[in-house]
Each structure stands twice: as C-alpha cells, then as structure tokens.
C-alpha cells in the first residue's frame, strides 16, 4: 500500500529547504508526498531575497484538496509565516480529526530572513502546538517558544518541559546550535515520560541548508509508515546525520544537505 504524507510549508526556489526538501525526503524514504504551500520564497544558497505569502484561504483549500482525497498517514508543518495562516492550518487540520502532526517551528533562515512574523508566535503556541505529536525546535526557536534563554543542559530540559506544557505530545530539542566538544546532542522528551538523548559527531561543513526541514520530513515519513514517534526520531536522526555528512557544495552560499543520503 502506498503511504502518503502531507507537508504544509514554504517553497524554496533554491530547492534545498522548505517544500522541496520535504518532498525529496519523502520520496527518498518511500512515502508519496503531497503539499500545501504557505508562501513562496525567492531564495538560493546565498539567502532569501523575497517572501510572498499565500492567502489563508488558499492554504486551507490546498489542505482540504489533499485530505479529502488521500489517506494521509502523517502531516508536517514548516514555514507558516503569519498568524492568519497558522489559524487556518490549525482549524482545517482539526476539522479532519486528530492526525499525526510534526511541527518544525521554522522562524528565521540562516541568513537572518524572517520566515515567521513576530505576531504569529502566540498563534503557534496557542493554536498549533497543542495539536503536535512532536515539535522539533532548534535552540533559538525553543528560546522564543519557551520564553527563556538556554545556556545549559538543565535549561534545555526546562524549555522542553515548557513546550510539553503547551500541549505537544513530544519534543525534540535539536542541539545543532549548542556545539559540545566534538559532538551535538539532541534531547527527546515525551508527555508519556520517555526521555533520551541522541549524540552525533560534529561535522564541520557550511552546506547545511535545509537541515531542519529534512529532519522533520524524515520523522514525518517514518510516522506515516507506522513507526512510533520515538522510533521515527531515531531513524530520522541517522538520516539527517548522513545527509549533513554528504552535503552538496552548490551555489555560492550554504549548499543543501543531501537528500539522497
Ligand atoms: N526557506 C524555507 C521555505 C524554509 O522552510 C526554511 C526552513 O527552515 C528555510 C528557508 C531555512 O533554511 P536554512 O535555515 O536551513 O537555510
């Protein structure tokens, strides 16, 4: 049986992040990918040159078109941009009953461009995070969502617990912005009490564009195929580690992680 996943995210014309990374990852992991675009970005490896949001009605219509016709095994969200779009996504998904939902709370591109308006943070916390099967913030995103600064291991645990309190069933705190000696460490925590860390060797590379999108898409593909959240996170971690190690030197800026890892 063909397994289907849905990504609700922004387009990256450079092909390394966003919808394009999600669909490539779904394909690579044996899942048929469908998509609802929230925004089009004019973007390449050097940065984001423009953001053109889709109106909320258009986002809703895309989600409905997919959900009404396919048996969607898991959904992920990436760049959502505005409070209006977040509200539309949350209401539309809820109207179909609970689905496995992976939230990558995309906020700022590596080059500094804003992919989520400040006004949208509250909507993400109140409307969307309570629907999450798992949320995958990096440290700067977790700091915004948990309203605290993160400097130590105990801060990471505290912030993760705050995200669980917002209603997410599980959280992966990605450690890529907090380099340890020669490794990075992610923390997995679930509302059901599971807890583990995933440690991986630090890879020195500039070609990491789309890492977060690819990781969350890999989790989504695994969940769609029937794995538990924890199993999905562990498998996705192996996938993204290999993808970073095999990053592509393309363009003049940050090349993409390799989706054919
Ligand atoms: N563009 C889009 C549409 C995205 O969804 C993302 C994801 O986070 C990015 C750009 C940022 O990519 P990165 O920060 O990995 O360069």
Q: ipTM of the predicted structure?
A: 0.93
Prediction pTM value: 0.97
pLDDT of 261 higher than 70: no
109, 243, 253, best to mutate for ligand 1 pocket (most atoms within 8 Å of CB): 109
In the reported structure, the alpha carbon of residue 19 is separated from the centroid of ligand 1 by a whole-number distance in angstroms of: 9
Structure tokens at 3: 């397994």
Between CA 19 and CA 2 the distance in angstroms is 20
In the reported structure, the alpha carbon of residue 212 is separated from the centroid of ligand 1 by a whole-number distance in angstroms of: 8
Which CATH class name applies to 4-245?
alpha beta
CA distances to 13, 23, 124 from 135, in Å: 25, 19, 11
Residues designated as active site: 174, 208, 210-213
176 confidence band (pLDDT: 50, 70, 90):
confident
In the reported structure, the alpha carbon of residue 207 is separated from the centroid of ligand 1 by a whole-number distance in angstroms of: 13
Please tell me if the CB atom of residue 9 comes closer than 6 angstroms to any atom of ligand 1: yes
Q: Are 244 and 195 in contact (CB under 8 A)?
A: no
Write the pLDDT tens digit of every residue in 134-175. Answer: 999 999 999 999 999 999 999 999 999 999 999 999 999 999
Between CA 49 and CA 109 the distance in angstroms is 11
Q: What b/e readout covers 75-114, taking b as 16+ CB neighbours within 10 angstroms?
A: bbbbbbbbbbbbbbbbebbeeeeebbbbbbbbbebbeeee
């Amino acid at each position: 049986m063909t397994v289907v996943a849905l990504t609700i995210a922004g387009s990256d014309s450079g092909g390394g992040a966003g919808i394009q990374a999600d669909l490539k990852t779904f394909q690579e992991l044996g899942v048929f990918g469908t998509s609802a675009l929230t925004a089009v970005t004019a973007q390449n490896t050097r940065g984001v040159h423009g953001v053109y949001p889709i109106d909320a009605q258009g986002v809703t219509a895309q989600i409905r078109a997919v959900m009404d016709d396919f048996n969607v095994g898991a959904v992920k969200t990436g760049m959502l941009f505005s409070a209006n779009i977040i509200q539309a996504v949350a209401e539309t998904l809820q109207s179909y009953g609970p689905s496995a939902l992976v939230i990558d709370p995309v906020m700022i591109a590596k080059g500094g461009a804003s992919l989520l308006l400040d006004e949208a943070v509250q909507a993400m916390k109140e409307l969307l995070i309570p629907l999450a099967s798992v949320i995958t913030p990096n440290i700067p995103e977790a700091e915004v969502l948990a309203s605290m600064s993160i400097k130590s291991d105990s801060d990471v645990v505290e912030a993760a617990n705050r995200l669980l309190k917002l209603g997410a069933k599980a959280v992966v705190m990605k450690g890529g912005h907090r380099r340890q000696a020669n490794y990075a460490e992610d923390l997995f925590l679930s509302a059901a009490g599971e807890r583990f860390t995933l440690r991986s060797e630090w890879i020195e590379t500039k070609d990491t564009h789309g890492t977060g999108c690819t990781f969350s898409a890999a989790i989504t593909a695994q969940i769609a195929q029937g794995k538990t959240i924890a199993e999905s996170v562990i498998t996705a971690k192996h996938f993204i580690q290999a993808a970073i190690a095999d990053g592509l030197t393309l363009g003049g800026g940050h090349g993409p992680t390799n989706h054919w890892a």
